Every structure is written in structure tokens, then in C-alpha cells.
Chains A and B, each alone.
Chain A
Amino acid sequence: MKIVVTAADDNGLKAKLDSRFGRASYFAFVDTKDDSVEFIKNDAKNASSGAGVQAAQTVADTGADVLISGNIGPKAFDGLSRTDLEIYSGPEESIQKVIDEYQLGNLEQLESATKSAHAGLN
């Protein structure tokens, strides 16, 4: 299974989950077959316009099965929900820990955006 986690740094499986979807520094692309992890820099982080949309595009293009993040704005969520991605909210812990929790079935699956358009950061 291929899982994307929004990450604050690129320190392998020790990297921390970043709960801001559109403004996270990296996307960690984890293949659970061999626990390999690859980091994709989030170009949208400093975009003045449409950061959430661009981040959604980047994640969708990885072809992952699952996305684990924190706060996802309505625009990005609406876009992602058109793909086959399953979306979960995870704690701000190491990616290793986040993936373990996911596999234990402890993470909450998101059915709608976690913040409204007026929270601003999407």
C-alpha cells in the first residue's frame, strides 16, 4: 500500500507529520511493502494563490491509496474526494508512529473538510 503523509521535515521515517495540508513542507510517500520513504517538496507551500489546490494535485499525482494529514481545507478536500484516495487525520508524531497507528486502525477517516474557507490557510 502507498501512503502519503504531510511532513514538516524530510528526516526519513522520523520526520514529523505536519497537520497543515496545503502549507506542509513535504509530502512523505511511504510504500508499506518495504517501508521505503521518499520525500516530495511541497511547491505550493509559498504559493500566494491556490496552495490547497496545488497540494491536492501533487498528492493525487503520486497515485497513493491513502493520505494522512491534519487540517484540510474545503477546496483541497473537494478535489481530493474526486479521486480514489482515502483521507485520514493523524497526530503530529513521527511518520513511523503515524503509519503504525494507521495500520492498527486507530486513525480517523475524514469525510469532510476539517476547517471552513474562512480559517484562511487553505
Chain B
Amino acid sequence: MQITVLSGKGGTGKTTVSTNLALSLPNVQFFDADVEEPNSYLFIKPDFADKSKSVLRKIPEVDQEKCTSCRACVDFCEYNALAMLGDEVLVYPEVCHSCGGCKHICPEGAITEKDKEAGEINWDLEVTEELEYWQGKMKIGEESSVPIIEELKEEIKPEKNVVMDAPPGTTCPTIEAAIDSDYCILVTEPTPFGLHDLKMAVEVVEELGKPYGIIINRAEEGENEIIEDYAAENNIDILLKIPFQRQIAELYSDGIPFVEELPEWKEKFQEVFADIQAVVE
């Protein structure tokens, strides 16, 4: 079972939901796929200093001896990672998306590929008996986080309860994180902006055809209607409301997952999980 936690934009409580959910369940494999800014480690506190590996991707290399400056590769690359300047093909590794196309298009066989480090993966197989932790981190200067998320997903163990913290937004990296999941949790806040971003996230999961539900973070009586009305109109489940409470906010800023201090919340997350299981099965 894989659950992906998403939000239309950052800062809505995606990490709060995913880390607290992970800490409430048995047999969990947690993935921080928010690889541009992974921060779940602040709450889960894994020990992964010596457990890391590089994620490599292929970038083209042009043999200038063989190259006839025909420009076929430059015209082909839709990401503008190649340019013909001063009679030589110039490769811009940060812009290249490693699609491999230019190598095939070159009529002279002048293009080969070499490895470039795109990022890094860290893990801790035993944060607790019930929790295994994985994190991807993109290298600064890289343009696409997708190769790292792809590599992270290779580590998924199907027999585990997988909780994945997806990158915020609605573009390729978020889709990459959600595409193989069994269920998506959309995290939002009861504000007009929250609703706006929620609608964008709903479009993504509808497109992917995944079952999904909403968790309202910073929930407040009198404010929640904006999300509740939308959910009712569109027949979307609201799985949980995490109240706007001083204690929860303080625990967050101290890096303490609130389920650790408020055990009754563990039960609530377990109920959420049971609801999700019922939907998926």
C-alpha cells in the first residue's frame, strides 16, 4: 500500500501530515520525495550520515573531431541544452533533461554519454522498529528533480505501508511521486488560497485517476466551511482536521511530531489509515 501526501503549494502542512501519519502506523517505509527541500528528517530524526548513494544521470558529450556542425542535435533538443556557438556544439549539463535523444539524432555518431551527479539518496532502515526512512536530495544547480524521485521509488518495498511526502505543486516531480500510489492525501488550509491550491491538486489526482481525500491543516471552527463546502459539492472525503492549536504549532517549531506528545492523535491517524484501506480495497 502506497500513500502519497501532496499539496498544491508548499507550507500547508504536508510534512506535518506525512511524518505524523508515518509515526502512527506499523511497518512503515517513509519517503521524503520533496527533494528540492527535504525537511522531514527534522521531525523523524533518522541516522543516515553514512548511508548515502549518488544519483547519476546521463548527459551528452560531443566528439568535436567527428562533429560536422550540422546542427541536427541543437534543433532537436527541446530543452535548449545544446547550442552551436563558434563552430562547436556546447552542452549545458544543468539544462539537459537526459532524454538521450540527441545521441540518436546525430548522423555522425559524434555524441556519447557520460554521468553527471544529479543528487543523493540517504536512508535509515531502522529509525524505530516500525519505521524505515528514505530521503532524496537534489544537487544545487540541477533543473529537474525527477531522476532522483525515480531512483527513490526503486527502493519501495511493496509489503510495507509506504508513506511518501511529495514535492509541492502540480508539475512533473509531484506527478512522478504520485503516479504509482494507491491513494493520495491532499493537504490544505481553510483559506481562499488554500482552496485555490487544493483545486489544482485535485486536478492532478483526477488526471491520474487515483482515489484521494483531504486533510485540513490549521483547521478552525467557522473557517473550515470553505473547504468543507467544496468537498461536499464534489463528493470528496475529508479524512481529518488538524486544529489550529498553540501546542501543535509549538511542537512543530521544536521539531517534535505532535503524535509523540499527544498520543490520542496516533489513534486518529490510524483511523485515517483504516478509512484509506477500506477505499483502496
Most chain-A CB neighbours within 10 Å: which of B81, B86, B141? B86
Chain A interface mostly: helix
Q: Is the CB of A117 within 8 A of B86?
A: no
B74 with A49: CB separation less than 8 A: no
Closest to A22 in B: B80
Which residues from A are CB-within-8-Å of B81? 49-50, 53
CB contact list, A38-68 vs B, under 8 A: 44, 47, 49-51, 53-54, 56-57, 60
Contact A79 B79, beta carbon cutoff 8 Å = no
Contact with B along A78-120 (1 / 0, CB 8 A): 1110111000000000000000000000000000000001000
Beta-carbon contact of B92 and A75 below 8 Å: yes
Contact A56 B141, beta carbon cutoff 8 Å: no
Is A83 a contact partner of B92 (Cβ separation < 8 A)?
Answer: no
- Contact A50 B85, beta carbon cutoff 8 Å: no
Contact partner, B80, options A51, A82, A84, Cβ 8 Å: A51
- The B interface, classified by DSSP as helix, strand, loop or mixed, is loop
- Please state if B92 and A53 are interface contacts (CB–CB under 8 Å): yes
Does B208 sit within 8 A of A, measured CB to CB?
no
B47 located at the interface, meaning its Cβ lies under 8 Å from any Cβ of chain A in the complex = no
A57 engages B95 (CB within 8 Å): no
Q: How far is the CA of A57 from the CA of B84 in the complex (A)?
A: 7
Instruction: Bin the interface of chain A by size.
Output: 10 to 19
What are 25 sample pairs from A and B whose C-beta atoms fall under 8 A apart? A49-B81, A49-B143, A50-B79, A50-B80, A50-B95, A51-B80, A53-B81, A53-B83, A53-B92, A54-B80, A54-B83, A56-B83, A57-B74, A57-B84, A57-B85, A60-B84, A75-B95, A78-B90, A79-B85, A79-B92, A80-B85, A82-B85, A82-B86, A84-B86, A117-B141
Minimum-distance CB pairs A-B, first 8: A50-B80, A82-B86, A50-B95, A54-B80, A49-B79, A79-B85, A57-B83, A53-B80
A contacts, CB < 8 Å to B:
44, 47, 49-51, 53-54, 56-57, 60, 75, 78-80, 82-84, 117
